Structure 1
Amino acid sequence: MRADALRNRTTILDTARALIAEVGPEASMEEIATRAGVAVGTLYRHFPGKDELVAAVMAASVDGIAIKINAALRRAQAGASPSQEIATLLEEIVDDTATLFAIKAVTGATTVDQDAERAATDAFAHLLDLARDAGQIADDIGVDDVYLLLSTAPANLPRPARGRWLALVTRGLTTAPRRLQQRAAP
């Protein structure tokens, strides 16, 4: 792909993501093209329809999350606090998820690149191992637990609510004593 075509594609994806998150399913291809500063024909050359555009936006979002996970893992391997990297990562993922929910609402799309998701999951598991080894999170916390927590994230609520959710979740992941565990045991 030529450099200008790649720039146009990137601009279109970024604009579509922001516009769909802002206005929802009503975002039209014409409005996306206008805001991206490209002709409608250019948009349709890259993406024949809205479904293809939304699928590409979702794929780019999943790739972006995978990049963030790998960067957090590299920082933790270089000596940063793994639990702090996890907390920062959760905040970024919840913010990204808020946008993804709006995007999924456009077409009901839920599929993602399985290889990218698997690579991100593996990197996150390694990050959790580092945090466990450092004694920063409970020994029984795994990737599935984090996914379960993320499924409860208030992605449709404003940032302050998401911040409170993050504070509660982070507290729950740490190795600090938990009185609730004692009461909740059967």
Structure 2
Amino acid sequence: MNAPGQRPLRADALRNAERLVIAARQAFADDGPEVSLEEIARRAGVGVATLYRRFPSKDDLVAAVLLWRYDERVAPVLEAALVDPDPWRGVVSSLEAAMSLACEEQCTFLAAKSMSNLADGIQDRYFADFTKIVARAQAAGLLRKDLTPEDLPPVAYMLVGVLHVVRAPEWDWRRYLTLLLDGLRPAGATELPALRRPGQT
């Protein structure tokens, strides 16, 4: 729970930070994104002053929740995908992990007042690894060659966008992941329009 550049927390402070992050994640899920910081502190069993010392804003707390969940749910999947003997399986598992996190943490994302810089570090980590995973699948002839690293964030955001459109329980995001994966296969792929580079007209 130590942010980069911060001194390590004392044991009691670390425990408080962990309790706050766990309580915040549960509070967002139970009471929605508008739950107050006072309620989160109460759930964690600490004073509001303790919360603000560690997390000066709600966005700081949201970022800590997302980082915790990413390290727990997504990072290990990407690590395995980078060495998976089946590169296509690595692509699929990487997208499934990202979608699972986005689905499970919808209320956490909505709790942020500003998303502009909130998840940049997590996104950078994800796409740095996912780019390598995609390249492995392309080298093995399992993924279309014309997909570029610049394409990957829009492709992932297209998939995450499903969560904002389809909310009925009978519709599963895996249905749309399957459609997208078929579009990444080399067989029958329609040639993509050229990607415009900076300075090109």
For residues 144 and 163 of structure 1, what CA distance do their matches in structure 2 show? Answer: 24
Tell me what 1:172 maps to. 183
Residues 127 and 152 of structure 2 are in contact (CA less than 8 Å); yes or no, is this contact kept in structure 1? Answer: no
Give the deviation of 1:22 after TM superposition: 4.3
Q: Which has the higher contact order (CA 8 A, sep 6+)?
A: 1
**Stretch moving more, 124-133 or 99-108:** 99-108
For residues 119 and 184 of structure 2, what CA distance do their matches in structure 1 show? Answer: 28
Select the structure that is richer in helix. 1
Residues 17 and 54 of structure 2 are in contact (CA less than 8 Å); yes or no, is this contact kept in structure 1? Answer: yes
Residues 73 and 126 of structure 1 are in contact (CA less than 8 Å); yes or no, is this contact kept in structure 2? Answer: no
- The letter of the residue matching 1:175 is P
- Which residue, 141, 145, 150 being the options, matches 2:151? 145
Count of residue pairs the alignment pairs up: 179
- The letter of the residue matching 1:14 is I
**Stretch moving more, 30-39 or 61-70:** 61-70
Question: Is 1:95 the counterpart of 2:100 in the alignment?
Answer: yes
**Stretch moving more, 162-171 or 10-19:** 10-19
Which runs of no fewer than 5 residues in structure 1 stay unpaired? none
SS at match of 2:188: coil
- The letter of the residue matching 2:41 is A
Runs of 4+ in 1 over 6 A off after TM superposition: none
**Stretch moving more, 96-105 or 26-35:** 96-105
For residues 134 and 159 of structure 1, what CA distance do their matches in structure 2 show? Answer: 36
Tell me the TM-score normalized by structure 1.
0.75
Q: How large is the RMSD of aligned CA atoms in angstroms? A: 3.1
